[in-house]
Amino acid sequence: MMFYATALKTQHTKPDYDQGLLWVTLLLLALGLVMVYSASIAIAGANRFTGHQESYYLMRHLIYLVVSLMAGFVAFQLPVRAWQKLAPYLFIAGIVLLALVLVPGIGREVNGSKRWISLLVVNLQPSELMKVFVVLYAADYTIRKAGHIESFTKGFLPMLLVMLFIGGLLLLEPDFGAFAVIIAVGMGILFLGGINVKQFAALIVMLMIGFVIVIWVSPYRMQRIIGFMDPWADPFGKGYQLSHALIAFGRGEWFGVGLGGSVEKLMYLPEAHTDFLLAVIAEEFGFAGVTLVVLAFAYLTLRAFAIARQATLLARPFGALVAHGIGIWLAVQSIINMGVNMGLLPTKGLTLPLLSFGGSGIVANCIALGILLRIDWENRQLLKGYAI
């Protein structure tokens, strides 16, 4: 009797959400807040736009985190079936926003790229929200076309045309990094949804040819490839960013120079608080700090895939595909950003999820993880025999 009472108590006190997923997410957000402040002190203090306030980016990032956590909480409250119903409408809204970015007077240009819509106090980056919308839409599309997913004309071609249209809008901004992530997510969900293997292989070949053509006809992308292959050949020109990122990694050694001790963030490493935040982490916390970040993203990815597997076993295909899509998104974007910082991939304007400065990116990440937690929560309710 005592054993039964203890088991019953344990069952009732066991949380209905994935504690590990939540705490790792909060850990990354907290680390991001600290590192954004550390990496941005010099540039904020030297910039007249920020009023020479060293805490300028810290305060803005803190506001972004509050808004993002609220957005993630709201996302968690919506049932998965509601997200499935909203998926087509959110996808259309995302396409409209991507188009508005290109309209003169609406889209805001920064560093030669027109990726933002000014909302007076903040800038909205539609490509970040589009990553969430693509995950939801691709999952919904795969479910709706389940009976025709292996058909070229009824299953494969419509999705291909839509993705090419989105890709065209992103390349006009240009935002090649977001394009690569969105294509990877869409392809991953279609593959898991049962697309014809021959069509999938043909798509990969077409994408590889397309990537080569896009790089070949674009001088600045070609320059990035050249600079990436040998940054020390032109350390003050094409290889400037990468060479300083590598110096930061080298200075960090095993355990880093200590929080706040980075030299590269002192106006040497461009975009230290956004695209190259990992380089500052490497310099201040060394190999140990970078390993912690890599393991955290590996954990999030594996948990997403585990939640997807559980949803599959419970006959919840939409939730399973969305969870897979979120896992693929986090994995691909983090790998690209880390690869760029370490000199393994050409320089791309792609932030590190949950860590880098940027309101739209953090909001999109928290919404996605809120949805992932909801999928897991509903899985647990079904396992307990409750209706959802």
Distances in whole angstroms, Cα of residue 331 to Cα of each of 75, 176, 184, 186: 21, 17, 10, 14
Tell me what the mean pLDDT of segment 333-349 comes to. 89
pLDDT tens digit string along 242-301?
Answer: 899 999 999 999 999 999 999 999 988 988 999 999 999 999 999 999 999 999 999 999
Cβ contacts of residue 230 below 8 Å, gap of 6+?
239
pLDDT tens digit string along 94-119?
Answer: 999 999 998 888 888 776 678 888 88
Three-class DSSP labels, 118-163: ECCCCEECHHHHHHHHHHHHHHHHHHHCCCCCCCHHHHHHHHHHHH
pLDDT confidence band for 329 (50 / 70 / 90): very high
Q: Which amino acid is residue 171, in one-letter code? A: L
Distance CA 144, CA 87 (A): 12
As a whole number, the mean pLDDT across the chain is 87
Q: Which residues of 77-86 are buried (b: 16+ CB within 10 A; e: fewer)?
A: eeebeebbeb
Residue 317 host element (H or E): helix 317-342
Distance CA 296, CA 233 (A): 35
Cβ contacts of residue 168 below 8 Å, gap of 6+?
none
